Amino acid sequence: MELARGHVLVCGGTGCTSSGSAKIIEQFESCLSEKGLQDEIKVVQTGCFGLCALGPIVIVYPEGAFYSMVTPEDVAEIVEEHLLKGRIVKRLLYKETVVDENNIKSLNEVDFYKKQQRIALVNCGVINPESIDEYIAFGGYSALGKVLTEMTPQQVIDEIKESGLRGRGGGGFPTGLKWQFTANAQGDKKYVACNADEGDPGAFMDRSILEGDPHSLIEAMAIAAYAVGADEGYVYIRAEYPIAVNRLRLAIEQAKEYGLLGDNIFETGFKFNLDIRLGAGAFVCGEETALMTSIEGHRGEPRPRPPFPAVKGLFGKPTLLNNVETYANITAIINNGAEWFKTIGTEGSKGTKVFAVGGKINNTGLVEIPMGTTLREIVYEIGGGIPNGKKFKAAQTGGPSGGCIPADLIDTPIDYDSLISIGSMMGSGGLIVMDEDTCMVDIAKFFLEFTVDESCGKCAPCRIGTKRLLEILEKITSGKGTLEDIDKLEELCYSIKNAALCGLGQTAPNPILSTLKYFRDEYVAHVVDKKCPAGVCKALLSYVIEPDKCKGCSLCAKKCPVGAIEGVVKNPFTIDTNKCIKCGVCMDSCKFGAISKR
């Protein structure tokens, strides 16, 4: 087989696909064929490159040219200039990669990538996720072969325990210990399961791994099954992830065809079969007992623990459950050794963590950093800082179960214990950045709205308690709150934490408690001054035209949908606050900055 002289890698993750990357691939194949280059240049659909803010992304090798925000209309120019004539198309390059007229940086020299260390995401953006041959060419299934032919189940568990790997799904429980509990459990049948039902707003870590490297999950689950004595597994994934579901299904079929799933794998007598179960998008099904109940075909509701899944899980049998990112670390640990893994991260948090970084930050996307990297490094070095010169105010980690980290704690290392010590948590890996224009009371209300909608209703503390919390927050943000309401809010938070049945209810108050701890003055301003300091809560807002800045152009009056602005042309206009619906159209339309929120 002839080797290609160049490769065009096109992101095929959900973000870039939604921006038209499939059409870009079609255009490349068509243009290359027209130029007779189809045998010299190979077009490869990959998973996510991480820098989602710049998608669709195309990387051309061997030069490593990183083209960003590519459109189908740009393809002909890339083919003609770069692939045919050898001239890189400078106007399409990600600006951070440009050194000078004749040189470009490699990706590991770019700020977004240079502080990252990819373990879970190592193949994402590198291989075609729909090709088992490419996965094998990059070392795939060698770890499974090693454990089946060279290691006993207990040796595998010992290696995972020694590595210090902790569960990446939120709680950070030691992975090897969980494997040991399942292996020690008595039972004629055992299962392994994968939680791919990430439901945190803005989180897409597990989805991206499945879209970019589905065989890594299959291999890791087979290793886990061998270690704990299981012969059957399930991946529970939400149906809203169609690309991930389709690629995982294809990968399972390919693994079966290659004899890497099924009976007598590597002719060792080990048997393992894997199946997919689709979730309907219920956030509560991210909780392990609710997830297993759903796999069994029942309504996804949590059940009391103990017994824990390691003793009584799926269909009443001992079950091992980890999330996608946890499994994505397994093959690297087996291939490189626990000692290697322990050199990465901190004393209590080994390895790396994948975060979906979003909100008020320039470089939104997916990052994988060594544990112990500070929030400042993520926001200002990897993330490129806050747009429009705004000030960093807070970051929220852990989704609806997490907490907010204020600006004065921006140098906090990101690891399990450090986050818990300041009232937040790692969670599955969502990281939302907020600037000075964010109202922290409104943020708490946003997450409570989500939790109220997603509560399964099984226990009263979550079903009723979170609703009462939301009602108090709505009262405060509408300008009707009192100082007593703040006290009631805090008291109810602790009552729910202590009484709720599962992790969803127990952690639901965290966004409120963390904002009360670090931003209590904003709550007080809402109830005492009847003002929203960030100018977000509509009921507490008023729009004002500053006479010395108003030029009397009348544009704001023409744009106002309710006729609340009056005046004479070439003289300052005024806003009738009784008519104003606080839509902000006037402020957006003013060309002189004469309208402000108060």
Cis preceding-peptide flag for 533 (omega within 30 of 0) = no
How far is it, in rounded angstroms, from Cα 110 to Cα 253? Answer: 38
Radius of gyration of the chain, Cα coordinates, nearest whole angstrom: 27
Longest Cα pair distance anywhere in the chain, in angstroms?
Answer: 89
CA neighbours closer than 13 Å in the CB half-sphere of residue 334 = 32
CA distances from 475 to 230, 345, 365, 486 (A): 52, 44, 35, 10
Six-digit token string for 322: 């980890």
- CA dihedral (381, 383, 388, 390) in degrees, to 10, reads -70
* Residue that is written with structure tokens 């990297």 in the block: 373
The dihedrals phi and psi of 596, each to the nearest 5 degrees, come to -135, 160
Rounded Cα gap, residues 545 and 558, in angstroms: 15
- Determine the Cα–Cα distance for residues 221 and 147; give it in Å rounded to an integer: 12
pLDDT tens digit at each of 598 positions of the chain: 457 889 999 999 999 999 999 999 999 999 999 999 999 999 999 999 999 999 999 999 999 999 999 999 999 999 999 999 999 999 999 999 988 777 888 888 999 999 999 999 999 999 999 999 999 999 999 999 999 999 999 999 999 999 999 999 877 899 999 999 999 999 999 999 999 998 888 889 999 999 999 999 999 999 999 999 999 999 999 999 999 999 999 999 999 999 999 999 999 999 999 999 999 888 888 889 999 999 999 999 999 889 999 999 999 999 999 999 999 999 999 999 999 999 999 999 999 999 999 999 999 999 999 999 999 999 999 999 999 999 999 999 988 888 999 999 999 999 999 999 998 888 878 899 999 999 999 999 999 999 999 888 899 999 999 999 999 999 999 999 999 999 999 999 999 999 999 988 999 999 999 999 999 999 999 999 999 999 899 889 889 999 999 999 999 999 999 999 999 999 999 999 889 998 889 999 999 999 988 8
Q: In angstroms, rounded to a whole number, what is the distance separating the alpha carbons of residues 11 and 59?
A: 9
What is the three-class DSSP state of 143?
helix
Supply the pTM of this predicted model: 0.92
Q: What element of type H or E holds 510?
A: helix 510-524
Residues in the chain, overall count: 598
For residue 312, what is the DSSP state?
S
> In 399-494, which ranges are E strands?
403-406, 430-435
